[in-house]
Homo-oligomer: A and B are copies of this chain.
Amino acid sequence: MEEVVPILYDGELSLLDQRRLPFKEEWVRVSGAQDTAQAIQQMVVRGAPAIGVAAAYGAAMEFRRASACGDLDDIEKRLAVLLGARPTAYNLQYAVKRVLAAARRAEANGDDPALAAEDEARRIDLENRKAAERMGELGATLISDGDSVMTICNTGSLAIGYLGSALGAIKAAWRHGKNIHVYALETRPWLQGARLTVYELQKEGIPFTLIVDSASAITIQRKGVRSVFVGADRIVADGRTANKIGTYTLSIVAKAHGIPFYVVAPTSTIQLEKTDMALEERPPEEVTSIGGVKISTAGDAVYNPVFDVTPPQNITAIVTERGIARPPYQDSLKIMLS
């Protein structure tokens, strides 16, 4: 068992380049909002909570770069590039806004905004780790000894910074000695499952089987899969959950086979005030090329939504660091966050 650490901060930020995994373990150094935003946009770092932590440090570094008497309004303008790096992960908005608010509070109190910003970023990172640990423990209670479970995308240490969300629950069950088997969806187009989840499962020593995304139904049907665990990029008040493309499809397949479908995500992913999902679409080339090899002549005739939205009626429970919410989510999420 080897813990995967994708984000390191020592005044500058080091990001394990997730575009190169699993074949190369290379680190990218960033030192401000602009290059952190670029790293997020290009998916050097991905996974909603990890994006949030990287963005928090990216914002904090921007305050440090400014002179002690830097104008916070100017800095706030430079943070816009971070907020716009990727649209769906709510953690990104959440983290940057918290760092900015901490700096403004410090300034109002006559303290150093840069120090306060950095402290807040470290606090977000720490909260994130604690949330992952707690989510993992809670999620693991939903997995029994001998279970086969299915998951999509990568929701492990690479996505969260520590343990994971959905994959964290699976890892926690394994660490508690439960004998489990993981069916990992490869997760086209970016292959987070085939590349990153397999990499983490191998480091952890958990038995697994890789399948193509469209084999979810036959695998649940023929391999006795007991439950599905997924992460989330954004959860709104009624429980609707934006997550990696294919999650909605998988929720329909799980429901058709009568097996539970669990969302595991930190509360920083939940956005009670809004209903908007801001679903990102990415370039056609992510579909028409794989690893630099062109596979189709489709050109721009591609629909490449990176996320879809799973409706609450397909979700058995939402696991956060604060507990396990069950339907109706309109009530249970509000109570959880109060």
Contacts and interface: CB of A to CB of B under 8 A. Distances in A.
Copies of this protein, total: 2
A194 B293 contact: no
A27 interface: no
A288 B194 contact: yes
A296 B212 contact: no
B194 A296 contact: yes
A298 interface: yes
Contacts of A127: none
A287 B186 contact: yes
A290 B291 contact: yes
Given A210-B302, A303-B223, A296 B22 contact: yes
Contacts of A308: 215, 217-218
Nearest to A190: B212
Interface stretch (A51-59, A134-142, A248-256): A248-256
Interface string A305-317: 1001100000000
Given A191-B295, A294-B23, A295-B194, A245 B214 contact: yes
A213 to B, nearest CB: 4
A77 B217 CA distance: 38
Nearest to A244: B214
> Dominant SS at the A interface?
mixed
B249 A253 contact: yes
B290 A210 contact: no
Contact of A303 (B219, B253, B291): B219
Interface string A18-55: 00001100000000000000000000000000000000
A189 B216 CA distance: 13
B298 A218 contact: no
A198 B296 contact: yes
A308 B256 CA distance: 15
Most buried by B among A186, A210, A211, A297: A210
B213 A212 contact: yes
Contacts of A287: 186, 194, 210-212
Contacts of A305: 215, 218
Interface of A: 22-23, 152, 183, 185-189, 191, 194-195, 198-199, 202, 207-219, 221, 223, 245-246, 248-250, 252-253, 255-256, 287-288, 290-298, 301-305, 308-309
Given A194-B298, A208-B301, A292-B293, 14 more contacts: A22-B297, A189-B212, A195-B296, A198-B301, A208-B298, A209-B302, A211-B302, A211-B304, A212-B245, A213-B214, A215-B246, A217-B308, A291-B293, A293-B293
